Structure 1
């Protein structure tokens, strides 16, 4: 069955218009970035997700470490950095980690990363955190402005189903295994046999005709729908699309840099 993602004509018509650098190896697995880290003293493998507004500790890991609260502040250790007093949430994350061969201890979100310049290379997979002003030149790169919406870094991108198109703010999600997801306020997947499966952690990937980003257009992309936390969000761009570049999230300067591999 050929399933396509179709944009909503009605909705679109209403749319108005001083420390040493820390580096760690990572894994690009099941379409997301995974890093070794320690959260609240719990060491393990964590999904690195710039598309998550809050850092999460898996409930099973929290219980095993003796934590009974579902929310508390603790330190996050990543790439040799200690990020103090991060507000954590304790949640079950089995729905997004069931396909991993080893346990995932949690999710490191944008709240723990936003003070740093974060470089992500996918092949080989490396993650580097630097203080503002310490990052070396990134080489020839395309620079895009980053805007924060609902605690998430976003960039402007354009999507099209062939007949309709719109430009909006898409969250950047290194922890999303889908190339692009569009807000269900602006798109649908007609004919999906199980509609819930076109949402995050579902198995269906309807095709989106095109996405334009940084002056380049990608076509026939595996896509999906998402219910964003804020109506200003048009959707999210996942790690499988970012994989095409070396990526620098210069959060303090409000810039995204995309360089050739």
Structure 2
């Protein structure tokens, strides 16, 4: 481990539709889930702003008669209809296993770019609008929204008590860890197996502090992300983002956040 790395404390632990559309959603096991249809496969999909590509689960694709791993077809979500979109077929990772029912895939940031995405967690609703057509959001904290390798990012800071590290963090509504840090910037020396700190692993060490949107989050379940897959400082996931009502203004390059009223809706579906 490099001396400058932060330490994590291991504990037991179609073009745009003419008008806006919205849909019910639910928040379960740290991830945001929505009804959608991809490549003619309708079902429950994780909506992950931190995923650069839209995915169809391998089992779902095979069941629909698709043998290829790279497809092109339709995506439908919350009034948004897109044709001829690239869709990748792959086995979904372990973060989705705690969900009560299997999901059909992941809706990624590639279908959201250039639009406005509103997310509220109580009651859980998702709305997608064209640039310039979103309704008033109300009082909010505003952060710059930028892109890194097809993922939206915003500024934040983390600390292990001795060091502070700031920069751009990917905003991932489909990540079940509150925070993940790039693995060349952080480590958890108390972990028996380092691989268990990654998304497919089960270990969630505690990060001393996260400062985001003017709020301080302490002792949050965290983990690592591979430098090969993440070129930001880290990733902020559902357990933190669910504290807010969110507007991802991808068209305007701005993230708006207002405190969520009430706990996130962890129902079994809309």
Alignment check: 8 A CA contact 2:57 2:91 kept? yes
Paired residue for 1:15?
none
Q: Distance in 2 between matches of 1:104 and 1:179?
A: 21
Q: What's the secondary structure of 1:63's corresponding residue? A: helix
Q: Distance in 2 between matches of 1:232 and 1:238?
A: 16
Aligned-pair CA distance for 1:245: 0.7
Q: What's the secondary structure of 1:10's corresponding residue? A: coil
Alignment check: 8 A CA contact 1:76 1:86 kept? yes
Residue ranges of structure 1 left out of the alignment (5+ in a row): 1-6, 13-17
Deviations 1:41-84 (A, max 9, x none): 10000000001000000111111111111102111000122022
* Range that drifts further, 84-93 or 227-236: 227-236
Aligned-pair CA distance for 1:31: 0.7
Q: What's the secondary structure of 2:147's corresponding residue? A: strand
Q: Any runs of at least 4 consecutive aligned residues in structure 1 with deviations exceeding 4 A, and if so which? A: none
Q: 1:231 to 1:136 in 2, by over 3 A?
A: closer
Q: Distance in 1 between matches of 2:140 and 2:101?
A: 35
Q: Distance in 2 between matches of 1:231 and 1:101?
A: 28
Give me the TM-score of the superposition, normalised by structure 1: 0.91
Q: Distance in 2 between matches of 1:228 and 1:51?
A: 15
Deviations 1:156-215 (A, max 9, x none): 111100001111111000000010011111100011022211111322111111111122
- The 5 Å alignment of 1:1-261 reads 9-10=3-4, 19-93=18-92, 95-229=94-228, 232-261=231-260
Give me the TM-score of the superposition, normalised by structure 2: 0.88
- Alignment RMSD, CA only? 1.6
Alignment check: 8 A CA contact 2:92 2:105 kept? yes
Q: Distance in 1 between matches of 2:168 and 2:58?
A: 32
Q: Distance in 1 between matches of 2:203 and 2:136?
A: 40
Q: Distance in 1 between matches of 2:81 and 2:253?
A: 22
Aligned-pair CA distance for 1:229: 4.0
Aligned-pair CA distance for 1:103: 1.7
Q: Distance in 1 between matches of 2:2 and 2:204?
A: 18
